[in-house]
Structure 1
């Protein structure tokens, strides 16, 4: 069988909507039940209003959830909301997991770059089944920068010790893909219909 990976390149994966799937309606229902709010999944809800600042590490969990609820939140409630939030983004895409398993088995160099709050990233790094596939994990909440800011890509490139052309970047956000492509990365835009194995195999020929 022809190997999927191309020797010498780094494979840089996003997490949300690439490795993970979207939260289910039940996930959102549980979070809404805990907050007393409705329609949190909608893009204009309080959940999303300050999410980028939370992802960038500019808000603590207490500050973020306080903004969502519109009032100070006791520590035990913050812990509950953090656990529910981590749980709803933990559902994995089996097709992506199969690709990661193949690449890892072939000895490919794997890294991850995700916009994710610090607490969630540390929880996943310690507990998730996918983290061991990666030799490098980069999270916005720990870096103080979010995609598509070119500076976060520059820091990843420098840390990997690779040229952008030697990095294959997989992400679901067209803005992130556009920035990476402009910087010289090889890119794959991941959507619900993407055959990731075929896309990567096409790049590797």
Structure 2
């Protein structure tokens, strides 16, 4: 495989492609999980909970909101309840990482091209696109739910590259999951693994 250029070897026309969860957003607070618990009668924050058991299908658009919450709660869920739970779900992931926001501000100030690629269900992506202040940083927003594809499926990266009209080597990709980083690197993207404690500004040479 061809050598992947360093993230510090930047050129005009390069794109910075950010993940959302645990990169732009911080981890949910206990109070956020508590609100969802109160609304559903079930604890959701445990790694083995039904919230997580069906999450990939929801993120990838295989389940609509009513179907996802019905699977989570093991009962029928009407549209109005699903909307209320979707709103609580979006609130769960709305706490921003101030260090990443500073990086986005710095990149925007110097005129860099910014795009987002997130595994996110359809309704949450609609809520954030319409209402979240962070969405204004980005020229392009790509979400797994509307696309019907999720990371680390290489097809979602190929779709983004086609839409941006660039090669993989023209993109610096920032994500918190190692499997997503590996998939991106296989397509030639310059990837930065966003691990706890990372100095992202330093990693990007800012």
Q: Same fold (TM over 0.5)?
A: yes
TM-score, normalised to structure 2, is 0.93
Q: State the Cα distance separating 1:7 from its structure 2 match.
A: 2.8
Query: Taking structure 1 as reference, are residues 28 and 44 closer, same or farther at Cα in structure 2, changes over 3 Å only?
Result: same
Tell me the equivalent position of 1:134.
Answer: 138
Q: State the Cα distance separating 1:29 from its structure 2 match.
A: 0.9
Tell me, yes or no, if the aligned pair for 1:116 and 1:141 is still in contact at 8 Å. yes
State the Cα deviation string for residues 61-110 of structure 1 (Å, max 9, x = none).
00000011100013332122111100010110000001101101111000
Q: Of 179, 183, 190, which aligns to 1:186?
A: 190
Provide the C-alpha distance between the structure 2 equivalents of 1:90 and 1:125, rounded to a whole number of angstroms: 12
Q: Matches of residues 23-62 of structure 1 in structure 2 within 5 Å?
A: 23-38=28-43, 40-62=44-66
| 1:113 partnered with 2:133 | no
Provide the C-alpha distance between the structure 1 equivalents of 2:186 and 2:80, rounded to a whole number of angstroms: 44
Provide the C-alpha distance between the structure 1 equivalents of 2:183 and 2:54, rounded to a whole number of angstroms: 22
Q: State the Cα distance separating 1:27 from its structure 2 match.
A: 0.7
TM-score, normalised to structure 1, is 0.93
Q: Matches of residues 89-168 of structure 1 in structure 2 within 5 Å?
A: 89-168=93-172
Larger deviation, residues 193-202 vs 135-144: 193-202
Provide the C-alpha distance between the structure 1 equivalents of 2:147 and 2:16, rounded to a whole number of angstroms: 20
Q: State the Cα distance separating 1:8 from its structure 2 match.
A: 2.2
Q: Matches of residues 81-96 of structure 1 in structure 2 within 5 Å?
A: 81-96=85-100
Which segments of 5 or more consecutive residues in structure 1 lack a partner in the other structure?
Answer: none
Provide the aligned length of Structure 1 versus Structure 2: 197
Provide the C-alpha distance between the structure 2 equivalents of 1:59 and 1:75, rounded to a whole number of angstroms: 13
Question: CA-atom RMSD, angstroms?
Answer: 1.1
State the Cα deviation string for residues 29-83 of structure 1 (Å, max 9, x = none).
1101111112x11221100111111011111100000011100013332122111
Provide the C-alpha distance between the structure 1 equivalents of 2:27 and 2:192, rounded to a whole number of angstroms: 19
Q: State the Cα distance separating 1:6 from its structure 2 match.
A: 5.0
SS in 1 for 2:28: coil
SS in 1 for 2:82: helix
